[in-house]
Structure 1
Amino acid sequence: MRKSFLFALLLATALTACNDEDDKDDGGSGQAAQMQDAPAPDSLPDQFKQVSGNASAGQDAFRFETFGNERFWTDALRLPQGIAASGLTPLQALQIGLSVNVDALNAATRTAITNAIAQINDGTPPAQTAFGDPAVTLSLINQNAVIGVVAFNPDGTRKALANTGTLNIAGGDKVGLSCAGCHAITDNSVLPPTVALNTTGSIGRAVDGPTPHRLDVGRIFAAGQNSLAYYPFLQARFETLPGGTIGRGGFPGLATTVSSLPTEAEADTYLTGSNPTTGERFYPVGHFDDTGDGIGNPLHIAPLFRQDLAAPYGIEAGFDKLDDFSNNVFVNALDPTALLTPAGRDFLRTRANATGDELAEDYERVLRATGVAIETTPYVRSRTGLTPGVPASPTGRRVDETRLRDLNAYLISLPSPRRPADVDTAAAARGRIVFRTLAVSDGGNCTTCHQVDPNRFVPPNVIPMPTIYPAYTPAVLAQRMPPQTPIQNSDGPNPFFDDKHIVSDGSANGKVRGTSLVLLLDLTRKTKLLHDDSVVGTDFRSAANSLFDPARGANAAHPFYISDSTKRSDVIEFLRSLETER
């Protein structure tokens, strides 16, 4: 939910700011290097300050609040029906990155899981244990033990943790989604991700805030019987858009015409399929698309701890307030039917002109054809009649203010993960000097934008797209009313780097088209860097080594390099060492 969809050392002033190719230092004369910290403010400007509520209530909101989106996920997308019909087993759920909070399990289920792990360790095939039983999956959901998947009784009350019932969709039970689904992991205390089982989810005590980097959101959504209900957040094909469709890997786009509609199989191909030539997923693992623009632009999921340091929010810096971003996720991304209200249609028209109108009309046709009564939508409980098109209420709606403020308090209070135990402290100390030095020959000046002290605010700057991506030479697709810049798209060495900004750039709120800065925390678990995951390694060290290697070229996204391999390694160790005091 935070702008750290992008990990990078973004420099605001010059493409050479972190290069070490010229402006050589004193040649070993012993003169002390000049150093600086980032231009972070001592206190955030008023526009970024949060109003916070009760952090304890915020934990409940983070883990279990849906504001009624269970009606969308059950009645429109039909996710629990699809899970039940497919016979999804606990092992398969763990294999798509879902995790289980052991503290929410009843005694019988804890025993069954303990026994199953012992059986597997003794050589029993997982399918012959509780991990192969689809009924156990439904029980886990019913106990509200699957992190981020929230079960409700027919009367709308949330099911109690560790209950002994079963999920009964035919009887009126419903299932919704909460923040925790994309922003929590476990401590791995019962079962960590296991290569032998091909699992990327885990079982243990819930740990809120960190990103579940291997969560396969596309496969989870495709498990629904009507994933077409999520149409605005899929990759569509437009008659009003030059080129027709925009997204990853050559997906042709879901076409809605006067005489034809896209199929469920086509939607599932987008959510789970790959380019046959490159093998690249259309909807990558670890990504989530929070922009209902019909463009295939999912981004790597961001962490949600220490959000007091993190303003503004969204990779395009679209939100100054954390509660505004949270509201947008609930009233739009987790229930896109709000886009079909008069205010929602007005929002789409303002952002995308004729293409916005086309998206709304196509979405209505898709919902009606798949048996969704739009007369009963939107599903999420919210205040209506608010000003549309502004960050506080993009589609003229806003969920309960008290819950949003409680959520603020919790996300601000969440500590960052601790540094890994294997950090080389001497190398990290040397890397800190390189990171801070003004002598570009030392690979420094990274603090032109980034804060060296992780306990201070991330500078609330927006880095212009041509600075962070020199190959950004966009073609204009459509004009918009000022202050919005045109709808535009660029290819180049990183063709998906700007996809998030094609429609939903910061110009609507008076900001430049560019990327916001990031929290440089909890990096060691990452193996893919930049918000489009275009820099890949076997672990964080190798991925970061590639990020800073001049071999990527002057026109690549984030072209700020450290040629000296030793200094590069030291900076990487410094980044691995970063943690906050709480």
Structure 2
Amino acid sequence: MHARVRSQIPRLTLLAVAAGAALSLASCGGGDDDDDDLDPALVSQGQQIFRSETFGDETFFTDVLRLHEPVATVDPTTALAVGLKVDSEALPPEVVAGIQDGSISLTDPATTIALLKLNAVVGLKGQVDANNNLVRLGVTCAICHSTVDDSFAKGVGKRLDGWPNRDLNVGAIIALSPALPADVKAVYNSWGPGMYDARFNIVDGGTPFHGDGINKPSVIPPAYGLRGIDKTTFTGDGDNIAYWNRYVAVTQFGGHGTFTEPRLNLNIKNGTDDLVSDKLPALQEYQLSLNAPRPPSGSFDVAAAIRGQQLFNGKAQCVTCHSGEHFTDANDRLHPQSDSMALETAPTHADRSATKQYRTSPLRGIWQHPPYFHDGSAATLEVVVDRYNTRRSLGLSATEKADLVQYLKSL
């Protein structure tokens, strides 16, 4: 064998091993692509519910908050600035051409009305009359738990359902309501992008009240990668996705239905009909079909990630809680508040839950949704690892911390 050829064999073998490891690491974060256990018809129905169903919440957002009034005066540029997204696949070719050549203005509120008529604003459902007046406005699950790939422009592209919209300033949008007093608007305006307080914002009998009276928003979580995780709410309250979906539809959207939680002293009924219950099975089936996104090609160092995986399972002790193929022990136990790595000051997020404990969040797709921890206090994975290293006294070196970050980026 030629000497030069022989000299290449170890190098090629190493490259093959690294490539295989890269595929293995990337597949860890891709979720379960086997959809055989899902009902395709139910998934399709659930997608429509996720994207378009308001559960009758126009009663709250239109009749009580009167949000249709300020929204009708907002131009697309302003709407995009507060994190609302536009589904490019809902745009007819002539609208696409008009936006591209400037004949359709993105600083004209009339364009917002036109986009709502096309059902192109992700998470918002508008009813427009014959005179192009916005007369009804509702909200869907996609408002917080869907974004776009920016393939057309920033904030405009194909839908990415299940991805948390960390650009969305929910509080600022709610604060546009002419029906809210100034002190309540100030609370909503304090949240900032990607943050939401599902205990402060409570709707009961179609009327807003402010839950436990505490203003302590948490990051909007992803709604993907949940298949195989029976206990899904990080608050530790409910046992399945349907519990949280009912909670949000009724207590957050003001949708027509009931939600009862004695541990939180909640017994809420909105409307005289039930527009929620029969939609929960299909909605859950669709959410279970949403796999965590794989890390982009070249987004992590393969060799470092391999070393980081060993640390994850060993010295760094991550696997103690982030265990199994889903990187969570959520199905097995709840955690006391003392286990939290968030920098929350009293009361903690767990204090406001029904169990006073919390569940470990799964790590698949973690590269996609900074900031981290329930309070969003870690801007990067580097901050996450450094905090664990300090508070758990792990003794990780700078190189080890860097390797662990690369592994997390591979999930």
Deviation at 1:548, TM superposition (A): 3.5
**Which residue of the other structure, out of 338, 359, 364, is the alignment partner of 1:466?**
338
Q: Which amino acid aligns with 1:59?
A: Q
Alignment CA distance shift 1:434-1:423 (3 Å): same
TM normalised by structure 2 equals 0.79
Q: Does 1:77 align with 2:65?
A: yes
Alignment CA distance shift 1:455-1:52 (3 Å): farther
Question: Where do 1:24-423 residues align within 5 Å?
Answer: 54-84=42-72, 87-116=73-102, 130-152=105-127, 167-169=132-134, 173-192=135-154, 202-226=155-179, 228=180, 264-272=181-189, 282-291=190-199, 292=202, 293=211, 294-335=213-254, 351=264, 378-379=270-271, 381-382=273-274, 399-401=276-278, 403-421=279-297, 422-423=299-300
2-side partners of 1:75 and 1:106: how far apart? 31
Deviation at 1:176, TM superposition (A): 0.6
Task: Please say if residues 142 and 166 of structure 1, whose CA atoms lie closer than 8 Å, have aligned partners that are also in contact.
Answer: no
Deviation at 1:88, TM superposition (A): 1.3
Task: Please say if residues 190 and 204 of structure 1, whose CA atoms lie closer than 8 Å, have aligned partners that are also in contact.
Answer: yes
Task: Please say if residues 256 and 274 of structure 2, whose CA atoms lie closer than 8 Å, have aligned partners that are also in contact.
Answer: no
Residue of structure 2 in register with 1:433 after alignment = 310
Residue of structure 2 in register with 1:521 after alignment = 364
Residue of structure 2 in register with 1:548 after alignment = 388
Residue of structure 2 in register with 1:453 after alignment = 325
2-side partners of 1:186 and 1:68: how far apart? 25
Alignment CA distance shift 1:400-1:144 (3 Å): same
Task: Tell me the percent identity.
Answer: 26
Q: Which amino acid aligns with 2:335?
A: I
Alignment CA distance shift 1:455-1:434 (3 Å): closer
1:207-265 deviation digits (Å, cap 9, x = unpaired): 10111112101111112222x3xxxxxxxxxxxxxxxxxxxxxxxxxxxxxxxxxxx22
Q: SS of the residue aligned with 1:524?
A: helix
Structure 2: gaps spanning 5 or more residues? 1-36, 203-210
Q: SS of the residue aligned with 1:568?
A: helix
Residue of structure 1 in register with 2:404 after alignment = 571
**Which residue of the other structure, out of 530, 538, 546, is the alignment partner of 2:373?**
530
Q: Which amino acid aligns with 2:125?
A: V
Residue of structure 2 in register with 1:484 after alignment = none
Alignment CA distance shift 1:224-1:51 (3 Å): farther
Higher relative contact order (CA 8 A, sep 6+): 1
Residue of structure 1 in register with 2:16 after alignment = none
Deviation at 1:458, TM superposition (A): 5.2
Task: Please say if residues 212 and 286 of structure 1, whose CA atoms lie closer than 8 Å, have aligned partners that are also in contact.
Answer: yes
Residue of structure 1 in register with 2:344 after alignment = 494
Q: Which amino acid aligns with 2:183?
A: E
2-side partners of 1:419 and 1:560: how far apart? 29
Structure 1: gaps spanning 5 or more residues? 1-48, 120-128, 155-164, 193-201, 229-263, 273-281, 361-376, 384-398, 471-492, 507-512
Task: Please say if residues 211 and 301 of structure 1, whose CA atoms lie closer than 8 Å, have aligned partners that are also in contact.
Answer: yes
Number of residue pairs the alignment of both structures matches? 363
Q: SS of the residue aligned with 1:408?
A: helix
Task: Please say if residues 231 and 331 of structure 2, whose CA atoms lie closer than 8 Å, have aligned partners that are also in contact.
Answer: no
1:263-298 deviation digits (Å, cap 9, x = unpaired): x222221111xxxxxxxxx32320122223232232
Q: Which amino acid aligns with 1:143?
A: L
Task: Please say if residues 257 and 277 of structure 2, whose CA atoms lie closer than 8 Å, have aligned partners that are also in contact.
Answer: no
Q: SS of the residue aligned with 1:271?
A: helix
2-side partners of 1:319 and 1:284: how far apart? 27
Alignment CA distance shift 1:284-1:209 (3 Å): same
Task: Please say if residues 147 and 161 of structure 2, whose CA atoms lie closer than 8 Å, have aligned partners that are also in contact.
Answer: yes
2-side partners of 1:218 and 1:456: how far apart? 30
1-side partners of 2:60 and 2:230: how far apart? 30
1:352-400 deviation digits (Å, cap 9, x = unpaired): 5xxx89xx9xxxxxxxxxxxxxxxx8348417xxxxxxxxxxxxxxx23
Q: Which amino acid aligns with 2:79?
A: A
Task: Please say if residues 382 and 402 of structure 2, whose CA atoms lie closer than 8 Å, have aligned partners that are also in contact.
Answer: no
Residue of structure 2 in register with 1:365 after alignment = none
Deviation at 1:526, TM superposition (A): 3.5
2-side partners of 1:337 and 1:562: how far apart? 53
Deviation at 1:410, TM superposition (A): 0.6
2-side partners of 1:568 and 1:330: how far apart? 41
2-side partners of 1:574 and 1:79: how far apart? 44
Task: Please say if residues 310 and 518 of structure 1, whose CA atoms lie closer than 8 Å, have aligned partners that are also in contact.
Answer: no
Deviation at 1:67, TM superposition (A): 1.2
